[in-house]
Structure 1
Amino acid sequence: MRRFALAVTACLLGTTAFAGGLGEMTDAERSAFRAEVRAYLLENPEVLVEAMDVLQGMEEQAAANRDLDMLAANNDAIFNDPASWAGGNLDGDITVVEFVDYRCGYCKKAHDEVAELVKSDGNIRLVLKEFPILGEESLVSSQFAISVLQLHGADAYKSVHDALIALRGSPDEATLTRMATDLGLDPAPIFAQMTTPEVMSVIEANHKLATTMEIQGTPTFVIDKTMVRGYVPLDGMRQIVAGQRG
């Protein structure tokens, strides 16, 4: 029944997998087959649901295989880019890469859960990719964070990253000045750095990588060999990590 269900759905949707078989039939044979399909579906409507489940599974597997191909082709840019912050256990057996936008509500929601995942697991390397896609305030926030990373290093960047994720207001000059000052940083060199080619090239490279990887939203995660497009609760993240460890 499962094989017939797939054939029925392929016929009804006009897929190329079954189109050749219909094309080889005579007009009378096609009419007879379609009548048989109609009668069968009227008697067994649950078959169509089963067939759609089969097709959905095939589509999901094809998408997963495509993701694997893209991950393999862009491995270094994803996991080993020296321009991106890396933390957690730098020798961990699993790397989690997050494409993040500071104005993204789901990025804000995921932040504490990702931090808990890294902390509680103890064997995860975390990489953050600045991916501003939600307007000018997103861009300014990423420019500021990258400037801090380039001028003051990983620890200062992580403090600024956490502060920007938690920020509810606008990342205007006064707010960013106060943020830098609270962290003991001189804001003037940071502001001067924000529009330099060194900063903008990081953002441009991340956007190019995201386009190549068919990433259109945030947060998007790469967990070892799995792409996760969108927010996933902590328990779900733990299940994915466990699955990658096999």
Structure 2
Amino acid sequence: MPTFRSLAIVALALCVAPVAVRAQSFSDTQRGEIERIIKDYLVAHPEVLEEMSAELTKRQAVAEAEKHQAAVKKNADVIFNSPRGVVVGNRDGDVTFVEFFDYNCGYCKHAMTDMLSLMKSDPKLKVVLKEFPVLGPGSVEAAQVAVAVRMQDPTGKKYLDFHQKLLSGRGQADKARAVAAAKEAGLDMARLDKDMASPEVRATLEENFKLAEDMGLNGTPSYVIGKQVVVGAVGLDNLTKKIGEARCGKATC
């Protein structure tokens, strides 16, 4: 019985080395025999397919992480320091935690609770919020109001209040609900209305979408923590580990 190594070499010759195959083609009989041997081996040893799948998944994850790290490095200044991001944590923190969110994202509600817990437990954490409205027109309207809130609140304190009120509320987020949340948070409504017509609103959302595109983000919540991109509501424990890795190279410093 041929070894798996010999079978792999044959399979490689058939599948990924067409030039060599053209130089010395297999006959139909030889090809049929090779295919039979490979099939029989895999039927007898199906665990090989699991090993192959696991290895492929591992390599894809490594490649994706390398792609994300390259995108973060390329866009680092805009990701971490853009004046269009809303800083609600320690502005001089040693680790920057960036969240891309949508006001109509159910998972973002849980993610907000995680973020608030992190801010409370980690006074050295710089938190940056970026509107990323991917869930329809209502999300875009809410994000436009959010940008206008940021424009009149350089401290981020009223923005955070507005953010919690809108994200934790029931029903579809849209302009009406966002304006109501802004009013409840104590914003200047006349200025809010004026700022919503500013080119800065469009520029902010375009910047955020460009960053998301460069990093391959297509959903919310998504995070950039140190050099790492984290996609999805992964939970408080996982976020804490990523912050530790960014801070000192390990999950717990």
Regarding TM over 0.5, the answer is yes
Distance 1:189 1:116, change over 3 A: same
The aligned runs of 1:59-98 (5 Å cut-off) are 59-98=60-99
Task: Name the SS for the 1:95 alignment partner.
Answer: strand
* Cα pair 1:100 1:132 within 8 Å, conserved: yes
- Kept in 2, the 8 Å contact 1:88–1:119? The answer is no
- Mark the runs of 5 or more structure 2 residues left unpaired by the alignment: none
Mapping 1:205-224, distance limit 5 Å: 205-224=207-226
Q: What do residues 36-89 of structure 1 show as CA deviations (whole Å, max 9, x unaligned)?
A: 322221221111111111111111111111111111111112111111111322
Give the distance between the partners of 2:98 and 2:10, measured in 1 at CA. 38
- Report deviation, 1:27: 0.8
Aligned partners of 2:225 and 2:83: how far apart in 1? 18
3-state DSSP of counterpart to 1:231 = coil
Moved more, 145-154 or 98-107: 145-154
Q: Does the 8 Å CA contact 2:219/2:231 hold for their aligned counterparts?
A: yes
Question: Which residue of 1 is the match for residue 158 of structure 2?
Answer: 156
Aligned to 1:152, what secondary structure does the other structure show?
coil
Quick one: distance in 2 between partners of 1:152 and 1:243?
32
AA partner of residue 210 (structure 1): A
Indicate which of 227, 238, 241 corresponds to 2:240. Answer: 238
1:30–1:206 CA distance, 2 compared to 1 (3 A): same
User: Which residue is 2:105 aligned to?
Assistant: 104
Q: How many Å separate the matches in 2 of 1:231 and 1:67?
A: 18
Counting only pairs closer than 5 Å after superposition, residues 107-118 of structure 1 correspond to structure 2 as 107-118=108-119
The yes-or-no answer on 1:53 pairing with 2:47 is: no
Report the residue type matching 2:60 in the other structure: E
- How many residue pairs get matched? 241
- SS of residue matched to 1:82: coil
Give distance in 2, aligned partners of 1:233 and 1:136: 28
Residues 1:201 and 2:223 are matched in the alignment: no
**What SS is found at the alignment partner of 1:205?**
helix
Change (3 A) 1:70 1:97: same
> Following the alignment from structure 1 to structure 2, what is the Cα–Cα distance between the partners of residues 151 and 121?
27
User: One-letter code of the match for 2:207?
Assistant: A
Q: Say which SS state the counterpart of residue 152 (structure 2) adopts.
A: helix
Question: Taking structure 1 as reference, are residues 53 and 83 closer, same or farther at Cα in structure 2, changes over 3 Å only?
Answer: same
- What is aligned with 1:227? 229
Shift of 1:30: 4.3
8 Å contact from structure 1 (residues 146, 199) kept in 2: yes
Distance in 2 (alpha carbons) for counterparts of 1:174 and 1:136: 12
Instruction: Name the SS of the counterpart of 1:103 in structure 2.
Output: coil
Question: Normalising by structure 1, what TM-score?
Answer: 0.85
Instruction: Using the TM superposition, name which of 117-126 and 229-238 deviates more.
Output: 117-126
Aligned partner letter, 1:72: K
TM-score (normalizing by structure 2)? 0.83
CA shift, 1:94, in A, is 1.9
Distance of aligned partners of 1:167 and 1:9 in 2 relative to their CA distance in 1, 3 Å threshold: farther
Question: How big is the shift at 1:122?
Answer: 2.7
Q: Report the Cα offset of residue 22 of structure 1.
A: 5.5
Which residue of structure 1 aligns with residue 37 of structure 2? 36
Cα distance in 2, alignment partners of residues 120 and 9 from structure 1 = 55
Amino acid at match of 1:84: G
Moved more, 236-245 or 96-105: 236-245
Given the superposition, is the C-alpha separation of residues 53 and 81 from structure 1 closer, same or farther in structure 2, using an over 3 Å criterion? same
Deviations 1:84-122, CA, capped at 9 Å, x for gaps: 111322222221111111111111121101211232133
Q: Which residue of 1 aligns with 2:171?
A: 169
Change in Cα spacing, 1:19 to 1:197, as seen in structure 2 (3 Å) is same
